[in-house]
Structure formats: structure tokens, C-alpha cells
């Protein structure tokens, strides 16, 4: 049962969001979900 909004504020809004969920929701299409490649192909 969710706790009524008037008593508490839920920072996760009822769902467990992992790193890739957060990035996906922002429309980011990072390499493997959360890796930024600095120069083309340098990391890979």
C-alpha cells in the first residue's frame, strides 16, 4: 500500500529506477547505458 502523499514525499515515485532507466527516460543513448566515449572508438 502506498503511503498517502499528504504524509510523505517519495523521491522515487513508487518505482525503483536504475541507472539505465534514468538515462533512458532522459532520452540519452549512451554506450552501454551510462558510458560516454570521449573520442570516437577510443574506449572501445
Partner 1 sequence: IIGDEYRWPHIIPYVLEDSLDLNAKGVILNAFERYRLKTCIDFKPWSGEANYVSVFKGSGCWSSVGNMHVGKQELSIGENCDRIATVQHEFLHALGFWHEQSRSDRDDYVTIVWDRILSGREHNFNIYNDSVSDSLNVPYDYSSVMHYSKTAFQNGTEPTIVTRISDFEDVIGQRMDFSDYDLMKLNRLYNCSSSLSFMDACDFELENICGMIQSSGDTADWQWLSQVLAGPENDHSNMGQCKESGFFMYFNTSSVKEGVTAMLESRILYPKRGFQCLEFYLYNSGSENDQVNIYTRVYTASNPEGVLTLQREIKEIPIGSWQLYYVTLQVTEKFRVAFEGVRGPGSSLGGLSIDDINLSETRCPHHIWRIQNFTQLLGSQNAEIRSPPYYSPKGYAYQIYLNLNSSTNVGIYFHLISGANDDQLQWPCPWQQATMTLLDQNPDIRQRMSNQRSITTDPTMTNDDGSYFWDRPSKVGSVAIFPNGTQFSRGRGYGTSAFITHKRLISREFIKGDDVYILLTVEDISHLNSTAIIPDPVPTSTAIVPTSAAHNACSEVECQNGGVCTVHEDRAECKCPAGEDWWYMGKRCEKRGSTQDTIVIAVASTVTVFAVMLVITLVSVYCTRRKYRKRASSKRAALSLENQHAF
Residues that bind partner 1 (CB under 8 A): 1-3, 6-12, 14-20, 22-24, 26, 28-39, 42-44
Least distance CB 32 / partner 1 (angstroms): 5
Q: Is 24 exposed, middle or buried (0-12, 13-18, 19+ CB in 10 A)?
A: middle
Least distance CB 15 / partner 1 (angstroms): 7
Please report how many Cα atoms fall inside a 13 Å half-sphere around the Cα of residue 14, on the Cβ side: 5
Least distance CB 40 / partner 1 (angstroms): 13
Amino acid at each position: 500500500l502506498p503511503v498517502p502523499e499528504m504524509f510523505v514525499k517519495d523521491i522515487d515515485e513508487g518505482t525503483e529506477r536504475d541507472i539505465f532507466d534514468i538515462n533512458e527516460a532522459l532520452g540519452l543513448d549512451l554506450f552501454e547505458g551510462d558510458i560516454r566515449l570521449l573520442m570516437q572508438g577510443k574506449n572501445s
